[in-house]
Homo-oligomer: A and B are copies of this chain.
């Protein structure tokens, strides 16, 4: 059987059996970052992201933005756990005929976003490769009391996103987005999300991860989902690389958040029991099952 037949998430499910967790590992495969024991107050977070020319970016795009994106994706993963990023190691696969200035501009872009978010670039590897390939492995930290995973959503929780969705690739936003570190920290410090992740594979697909991990279902309200300009509703539901936060809050806390920030965070639906599956409530109040088909890498 080929990788294309089971898709990225089918493959990840199969690879899960190859993890060997020890007592020092709090959480392994299956969240935005792995969680390791660190000290009495904090956990360490680790995430890794590979970007390949042709899939995640084109050589014709500005090199600074390519570098920026490579690091920003990983920062977004750390934010989605409620943490703060600390240090990154970068592996670079580059064609031998690539202009050194291009490589330096990629690094300059990475360094700029690193500085903004307090990340130290501490080392790396460079190898020869036909396609430009960038791997960022990023460490982070989170207070034990502030860690948020995908598996804590409860029936009755309200589902939120941190901004409008869709059209990230077409608009170029996938190169220039701001990882939601500030928002995520604000949420974990004051509102205790029950589940959180960043939207990298599309709202429906990523909400599906939360539902599966938490063993619940959900209903989204069509009229409440914020959609970027020039983007269809379907695109907002399924397109990847928005890098907004998707999170759930217990109802009383949700009410407070809505009252304080009616425009910043968008309540888009509610967590239901598992048997409900994932439903969409149309503007006429009727609900139907949503097909869990989202952007997949294969």
Contact = CB atoms under 8 A, between A and B. Distances in A.
Interface residues of A, number: 79
Contact of A128 (B52, B104, B122, B135): B52
Interface stretch (A4-12, A151-159, A165-173, A204-212): A4-12
A34 interface: yes
Contacts of A39: 39
A98 B1 CA distance: 8
A171 to B, nearest CB: 22
B3 A94 contact: yes
19 contacts: A1-B101, A3-B97, A3-B99, A4-B96, A11-B100, A11-B126, A15-B104, A15-B126, A20-B119, A24-B86, A33-B123, A34-B122, A34-B123, A46-B122, A47-B89, A48-B91, A50-B125, A50-B135, A137-B137
| Pairs of residues from A and B, 10 with the lowest C-beta to C-beta distance, nearest first | A137-B137, A34-B122, A50-B91, A4-B96, A18-B107, A135-B135, A34-B123, A48-B89, A28-B122, A52-B129
